[in-house]
């Protein structure tokens, strides 16, 4: 387990609020967690410095951008540098995980249509055996995560 600074109730509430809305002003964040703006700003800065908060980003609707199909592609053992290059080159790869188990990689992809899916899958198949699953419905995404407590049930 990675060493992280001890987080108190204020830090936990700050993390929950920022994960729900990263565009919240420091003044509003302070009001929600019952701290002054300077105090909450300092806490956020410390969470960033400790790499508890690693960034802020906009979440976009892929369908609104023309990507009507999302999928997960499992890729078998392959040449690591070649896979890294392919991940860097292919804009359709939304997320990429190097994993343990039967497969070496799990890729989340976004494509416009079935023909686009075929082109992406064909390119990935050149490296290794693949298995593709289409995402039908997203039930949970970007779930707010709070510190794990050692006594919590797994």
Give me the DSSP letters along 21-78.
Answer: -TT--HHHHHHHHT--HHHHHHHHHHHHHTTSS--------TGGGT--EEEEEEE-S-
For residue 149, what pLDDT band results from cuts at 50, 70 and 90? confident
Boundaries of domain holding 91: 63-134
For residue 1, what pLDDT band results from cuts at 50, 70 and 90? very low
pLDDT tens, residue by residue, 112-127: 999 999 999 999 999 9
Is residue 150 pLDDT above 80, yes or no?
Answer: no
**73/42 same-domain check:** no
**Domain contains 119:** yes
Please tell me the distance from the alpha carbon of residue 87 to that of residue 73, in angstroms, as a whole number: 12
Is residue 93 pLDDT above 80, yes or no?
Answer: yes
**68/123 same-domain check:** yes
**95/127 same-domain check:** yes
Report pLDDT for 152: 53
**130/91 same-domain check:** yes
Asked if 12 contacts 147 with a C-beta cutoff of 8 angstroms, the reply is yes
The fraction of the chain above a pLDDT of 70, given in percent, is 94
Mean pLDDT of 34-61: 95
Report how many domains make up the chain: 2
Identify the CATH number of the domain in which residue 105 sits.
Answer: 3.30.70.920
């Amino acid at each position: 387990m990675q060493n992280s600074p001890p987080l108190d109730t204020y830090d936990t509430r700050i993390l929950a609020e920022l994960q729900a809305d990263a565009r919240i002003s420091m003044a509003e964040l302070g009001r929600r967690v019952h701290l002054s703006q300077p105090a909450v700003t300092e806490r956020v800065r410390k969470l960033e410095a400790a790499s508890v908060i690693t960034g802020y980003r906009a979440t976009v609707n892929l369908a609104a951008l023309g990507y009507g199909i999302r999928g997960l592609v499992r890729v078998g053992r392959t040449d690591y540098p070649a896979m890294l290059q392919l991940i860097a080159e292919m804009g359709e790869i939304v997320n990429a995980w190097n994993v343990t188990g039967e497969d070496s990689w799990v890729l989340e992809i976004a494509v416009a249509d079935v023909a686009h899916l075929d082109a992406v899958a064909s390119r990935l198949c050149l490296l290794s055996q693949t298995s593709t699953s289409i995402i039908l419905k997203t039930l949970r995404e970007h779930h707010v995560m709070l510190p794990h407590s050692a006594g919590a049930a797994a």
